[in-house]
């Protein structure tokens, strides 16, 4: 059995993120519940409180052998899966969240919608920093045309790994046909 620890994400019951983190701590499981420092305004006062940044998720640093123990923790609904296996979260992403929350308060998360013909930049993975145009969207992946070295390359990249550069204005005719397979 692989005894290397990896970061995984677990789904929690609604509004149970802090409780799940406490329950995991009681079991001796290393975990991280990213907490956002925000100012709440009541009628008579303001107070700095900590709320989960990503609702419904807690991250755990465990071996594959410990997956069952985590699933059995009160408040854990299930693991987050990718391709039928518990999704491994790169440690650099956990570190980036920790660093960002350590530097900033009142952080907000926004999903960036990706549309056909958007120009995007790959932000992580082997194609990092390459720019291309979205030609298909299916599930959690986008298909990009990446012009490079005079060739047109096509790559399928997870939506989470790209950022929209600018919305594409439809002023130029299409250079190639677009098809969306669903």
Burial bucket for residue 86 (CB in 10 Å: 0-12, 13-18, 19+): buried
pLDDT of 46 above 60:
yes
- Final residue of a domain: which of 68, 103, 138? 103
Q: What's the per-residue H, E or C state across 93-151?
A: HHHHHHHHHHHCCCCCCCCCCCCCCCEEEECCCCCCCCEEEEEEEECCEEEEEEEECCE
Q: Is residue 31 part of a domain?
A: yes
Rank 4-13, 143-152, 157-166 by mean pLDDT and report only the highest. 4-13
pLDDT category, 83, cuts 50, 70, 90?
confident
Q: What is the pTM of this model?
A: 0.63
Range of the domain at 159: 111-182
pLDDT of 100 above 80:
yes
Mean per-residue pLDDT of the chain: 80
Q: Tell me how many domains the chain contains.
A: 2
* Rounded mean pLDDT, 91-101: 87
* Rounded mean pLDDT, 161-171: 63
Six token digits for residue 129: 């920093």
| 70 and 86 share one domain | yes
Q: What percent of the chain has pLDDT over 70?
A: 82
| 176 and 125 share one domain | yes
Per-residue pLDDT tens over the stretch 34-44: 998 888 888 99
pLDDT of 170 above 80:
no
The residue with tokens 């985590």 is 70
pLDDT category, 177, cuts 50, 70, 90?
very low
* Rounded mean pLDDT, 14-31: 97
| 123 and 37 share one domain | no
- For residue 155, the model assigns a pLDDT of 65
Q: What is the CATH number of the domain that holds 123?
A: 2.30.30.30
């Amino acid at each position: 059995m692989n005894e290397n620890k990896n970061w995984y994400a677990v789904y929690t019951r609604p509004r149970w993120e802090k409780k799940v983190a406490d329950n995991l701590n009681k079991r001796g499981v290393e975990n991280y519940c990213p907490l956002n420092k925000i100012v709440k305004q009541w009628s008579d006062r303001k107070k700095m409180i900590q709320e989960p940044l990503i609702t419904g998720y807690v991250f755990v640093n465990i071996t594959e052998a410990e997956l069952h123990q985590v699933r059995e923790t009160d408040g854990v609904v299930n693991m987050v899966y990718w391709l039928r296996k518990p999704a491994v979260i790169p440690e650099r992403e956990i570190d980036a969240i920790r660093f960002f929350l350590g530097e900033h308060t009142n952080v907000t998360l926004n999903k960036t919608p990706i549309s056909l013909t958007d120009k995007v930049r790959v932000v992580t993975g082997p194609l990092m920093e390459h720019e291309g145009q979205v030609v298909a969207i299916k599930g959690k992946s986008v298909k990009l045309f990446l012009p490079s070295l005079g060739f047109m390359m096509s790559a399928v990249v997870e939506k989470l790994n790209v950022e929209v550069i600018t919305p594409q204005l439809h002023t130029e005719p299409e250079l190639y046909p677009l098809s969306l397979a669903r």
